[in-house]
């Protein structure tokens, strides 16, 4: 290994260590004191509930752990969006589990909480996965109600989804393990089955204080909407549980009896580990985003036996298209090559840039994967499409549009891994969030933006300078440097993978070594949902 490999390795391992430190902080939810208060009530925390529910020693992935990170500081923050979501196994069956974290503002719903819950339902709907709701929430966070209550993708959409999912035959089970009030009361009761924990669980449209204010009736919350009331009098809930673990055990028993599912039929054989050491990825990825590296070497460390069959290897070389296996699953890989390459005409092409020939190749490959029912994996490190008169005259817009068309109309499941750059239209063509990947995650090395921080800062600097000069202000070289650095710092902050993850533009930031698990579990989830429509590109400019 050369010295650059060692430097890269040290840098990327530090980035992964930073990721793990951030996650440990997120896992504490509202903090140790609130966790202690929660335990004092005889309740498990959201993460403890999920860990107890999921099969021990089985793999799981957490969706949007960084939701809300760095947001709502003026309201005390909202770690992990106040809700924990995992895809894991219950009695061997893959499920989505959603648990309110009552240590964060009593489980109140912030705007990002609503977005995260909708993402969980989206995953369940797309993949026909059973979904479990562990409810413990004070309802909408009132100071921000205008950002979560009335719009199409706000709080009410969740109950609409409950109804749609029920009509689709997707299993929904709820456990009321704490407070469940107002509109939030509909979520568990619109599930197939609901259970409530005695003495700690309660459900009502209006609590005792509001009832007193509204109609003058004096009543305590337990009598109004506790376990005995809803299991013995109203019939709203189906089971009474003595404590959290009893409720979770009941869910396990229900899931254990669910029948088998219709399969999409994606090809899988016995899994083989990569022959090349996956930890080499840390040394292959450069510290600086504009430095070059060979994407083939990354692919070798992600796929079974480090083997792949490349499609059109000598054409459109800035994109790699190849058939391979990940954890036994057949996949079609579309990856940005980050090395400068030479085309058939002897012309040099920049790594990370999509040219007309590479876009054409990717379009054909995506069509082939759809015809063969092979899931697609996009490995993003893209700076965008090639610009300039030569590219424009050669029809780069047309070829890029064909690739975007193929990605948009793809009917096989898509999975996106943002390894490095994810800029501009390149993000779209390589299956960014707007193009419905079943799962999309970023490595700590990722950057997401319209353009790089350096390029954007130069453009914004010119605009800012022109504005100041128009106001009659003189700009010195020192002023210009300070202005540039301030702009670049602000822009770089927004390109961080954590900034994207906090807003659920991605499903999370992951250690590169976890990539195979995410892709494998994602395809397994997708295998629950048979393809119901044919691949059709529609009208395209040929």
Which two structure tokens, joined as six digits, stand for 487? Answer: 């702009």
pLDDT (0 to 100) of residue 102: 95
The pair of structure tokens assigned to 360 is: 């054409």
Structure tokens at 488: 């670049």
Task: Give 240-244's long-range contacts (Cβ < 8 A, gap of 24+).
Answer: 240/195, 240/196, 240/198, 241/175, 241/195, 241/196, 241/197, 241/198, 241/201, 242/197, 242/198, 243/42, 243/197, 243/198, 243/200, 244/42, 244/43, 244/44, 244/49, 244/52, 244/177, 244/197, 244/200
Tokens 């369940």, residue located:
124
Tokens 């059973």 -> residue: 130
Residue 133 has which token pair? 């709701």
Beta strands in 247-387 (DSSP E): 308-310, 319-326, 329-336, 341-342, 348-349, 353-354, 376-382, 384-385
Question: Are β-strands 329-336 and 319-326 bridged in parallel, bridged antiparallel, or unpaired?
Answer: antiparallel
Q: Are 176 and 188 in contact (CB under 8 A)?
A: yes
DSSP state, residue 349: E
Q: Which of 264, 394, 387, 403 has its CA nearest to residue 321?
A: 403
pLDDT tens for 325-359 read 999 999 999 999 999 998 888 888 888 999 999 99
* pTM, full prediction: 0.94
pLDDT of residue 213: 87
Strand ranges, E, within 281-395: 308-310, 319-326, 329-336, 341-342, 348-349, 353-354, 376-382, 384-385
Handedness of CA 147, 150, 153, 155 (dihedral sign): positive
Report the pLDDT value the prediction gives residue 51, as an integer from 0 to 100.
97
User: What CA–CA distance (Å, rounded) separates 78 from 105?
Assistant: 8
Residues 6+ apart with CB under 8 A from 453: 447, 488, 491, 492, 495
How far apart are alpha carbons 270 and 80 in whole angstroms?
Answer: 35
Closest to 287 measured CA to CA, from 21, 2, 10: 10
**CA–CA separation, 374 and 366 (whole Å):** 9
pLDDT at 367: 97
Angle at 177 between CA 237 and CA 133, to 5 degrees: 75
Q: Provide the β-strand partners of residue 137.
A: 180
Task: Dump pLDDT digits (tens) for 63-118.
Answer: 999 999 999 999 999 999 999 999 999 999 999 999 999 999 999 999 999 999 99
What are the tokens at 258?
Answer: 């669910």
Question: Is residue 292 within 8 Å of 286, Cβ to Cβ?
Answer: yes
CB atoms within 10 A of CB 413: 25
Mind listing the pLDDT tens digit of every residue in the chain (542 residues)? 589 999 999 999 999 999 999 999 999 999 999 999 999 999 999 999 999 999 999 999 999 999 999 999 999 999 999 999 999 999 999 999 999 999 999 999 999 999 999 999 999 999 999 999 999 998 888 899 888 888 888 888 999 999 999 999 999 999 999 988 876 778 888 999 999 999 999 998 877 888 888 898 888 888 888 888 999 999 999 999 999 999 999 999 999 999 999 999 999 999 999 999 999 999 999 999 889 999 999 999 999 999 999 999 999 999 999 999 999 999 999 999 999 998 888 888 888 999 999 999 999 999 999 999 999 999 999 998 988 888 887 788 898 999 999 999 999 999 999 999 999 889 999 999 999 999 999 999 999 987 776 777 777 778 887 887 888 888 888 877 888 888 888 878 889 999 999 999 999 999 999 999 999 999 999 999 999 999 998 776 65
Give bridge partners of residue 195 from the DSSP assignment.
175, 239
Burial 242-278 (b: 16+ CB within 10 A, else e): ebbeebbebbeebbeeeeebeebebebeeeeebebeb
DSSP code of residue 195: E
Identify whether the C-beta of residue 199 lies closer than 8 Å to the C-beta of residue 178: no
Q: Which two tokens stand for residue 527?
A: 């295998």
Instruction: State the CB neighbour count (10 A cutoff) for residue 486.
Output: 14
Residue 321 · residue 359 · CB < 8 Å: no
Q: What is the CA radius of gyration of the chain?
A: 25
């Amino acid at each position: 290994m050369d010295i650059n490999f060692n430097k890269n390795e040290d840098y990327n391992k530090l980035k992964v260590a930073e990721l793990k430190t951030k996650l440990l902080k997120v896992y504490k939810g509202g903090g140790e004191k609130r966790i202690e208060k929660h335990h004092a009530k005889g309740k498990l925390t959201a993460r403890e509930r999920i860990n107890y529910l999921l099969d021990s020693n089985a793999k799981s992935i957490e969706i949007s752990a960084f939701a809300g990170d760095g947001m709502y500081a003026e309201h005390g923050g909202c770690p992990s969006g106040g809700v924990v979501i995992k895809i894991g196994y219950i009695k061997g069956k893959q499920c989505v589990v959603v648990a309110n974290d009552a240590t964060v503002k009593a489980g109140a719903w912030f705007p990002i909480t609503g977005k995260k819950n909708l993402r969980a339902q989206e995953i369940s709907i797309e993949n026909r996965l059973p979904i479990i709701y562990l409810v413990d929430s004070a309802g909408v966070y009132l100071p921000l109600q205008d950002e979560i209550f009335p719009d199409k993708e706000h709080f009410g959409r969740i109950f609409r989804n409950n109804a749609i999912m029920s009509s689709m035959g997707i299993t929904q089970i709820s456990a009321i393990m704490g407070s469940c009030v107002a509109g939030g009361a509909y979520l568990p009761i619109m599930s197939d089955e609901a259970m409530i924990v005695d003495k700690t669980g309660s459900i009502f449209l209006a609590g005792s204080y509001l009832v007193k204010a509204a109609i003058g009736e004096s009543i305590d919350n337990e009598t109004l909407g506790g376990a005995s009331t809803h299991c013995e009098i109203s019939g709203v809930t189906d089971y009474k549980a003595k404590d959290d673990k009893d409720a979770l055990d009941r869910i396990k028993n229900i899931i254990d009896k669910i029948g088998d599912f219709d399969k999409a039929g994606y090809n899988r054989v016995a899994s083989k580990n990569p022959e090349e050491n996956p930890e080499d990825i840390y040394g292959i990825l450069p510290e600086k985003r504009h430095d070059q590296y060979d994407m083939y070497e990354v692919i070798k460390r992600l796929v079974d036996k480090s083997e792949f069959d490349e499609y059109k290897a000598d054409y459109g070389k800035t994109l790699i298209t190849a058939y391979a296996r990940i954890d036994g699953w057949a996949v079609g890989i579309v990856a940005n090559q980050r090395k400068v390459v030479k085309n058939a005409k002897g012309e040099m092409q920049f790594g990370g840039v999509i040219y007309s020939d590479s876009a054409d190749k990717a379009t054909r490959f995506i069509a082939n994967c759809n015809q063969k029912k092979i899931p697609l994996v996009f490995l993003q490190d893209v700076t965008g499409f090639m610009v300039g008169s030569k590219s424009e005259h050669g029809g780069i817009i047309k070829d890029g549009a064909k690739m975007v068309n193929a990605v948009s109309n793809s009917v096989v499941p898509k999975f996106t891994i943002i390894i490095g750059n994810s800029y501009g239209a390149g993000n779209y063509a390589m299956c960014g969030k707007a193009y419905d990947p079943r799962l999309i995650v970023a490595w700590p090395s990722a950057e997401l933006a319209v353009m790089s921080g350096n390029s954007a800062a130069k453009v914004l600097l010119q605009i800012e300078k022109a504005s100041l000069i128009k106001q009659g202000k003189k700009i010195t070289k020192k002023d210009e440097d300070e202005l540039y650095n301030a702009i670049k710092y602000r822009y770089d902050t927004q390109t961080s993978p954590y900034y994207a993850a906090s807003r659920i533009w991605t499903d999370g930031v992951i250690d590169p070594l976890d990539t195979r698990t995410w892709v494998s579990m994602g395809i397994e989830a997708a295998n629950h949902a048979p393809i119901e429509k044919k691949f059709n590109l529609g009208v395209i400019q040929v």
